[in-house]
Every structure is written in structure tokens, then in C-alpha cells.
Amino acid sequence: MKSIAALQTAVTAAAPFDGEPSDAELDAIEVESPLILAEVALLDAQIMTIDRTPSELDERRIRRARRRVLAARRDLTNLSAASTNATVSGGAA
């Protein structure tokens, strides 16, 4: 029977994972945080009405939360498009 211990280093030779997010990952989370918070607010509004019929106030709260999510997605898309355009246009002259 052949031991797999010798093969383990070849399989797990990737960089060691220290369990912490990198600076780039933290920056991405910070940029996306308005969208994340808007989605959490929408989820909270939807959870409140799971076990009952939504009232008019509940429906308004859900609509408002959906609009916030859409606005946050729009802003994030515009931000990434603007940074892409700045990178592309700043290249060759």
C-alpha cells in the first residue's frame, strides 16, 4: 500500500492560509458595504412579514428597501464602470 503523505505537499503546496482576509478583500467589502446593508434591510423587512399578511406599512417598508437595494446596485455599478473607464482612458496616449 502506498502512503499519500508524500503526495500531500504537492497537493497542498498553495500559499498558507492564515484565516484573515487580505487588504484587497477588505477594500472590496468596504466598497460593497452600502449594498450589503441595503440587502440586509430588505431581508429584515421581508422577514417581518413571513408569518402574517403584510399591512400597507409593511408593503411600503419593503418597497422602500427594494429601492435602496436598486440604488446601491446602481451606485456600485457606476463606481466600477467609472474606475474601469479611468483605467482604460489613462493608458495609451
For CA atoms 62, 64, 68, 70, the dihedral sign is positive
pTM of the model: 0.68
What is the reported pLDDT for 92? 54
pLDDT in tens, the chain (93 residues): 666 665 665 555 566 678 898 999 999 999 999 999 999 999 999 999 999 999 999 999 999 999 999 999 999 999 988 888 776 655 554
Return the pLDDT at 29.
Answer: 92
Helix ranges restricted to H, the chain = 5-11, 23-48, 56-89
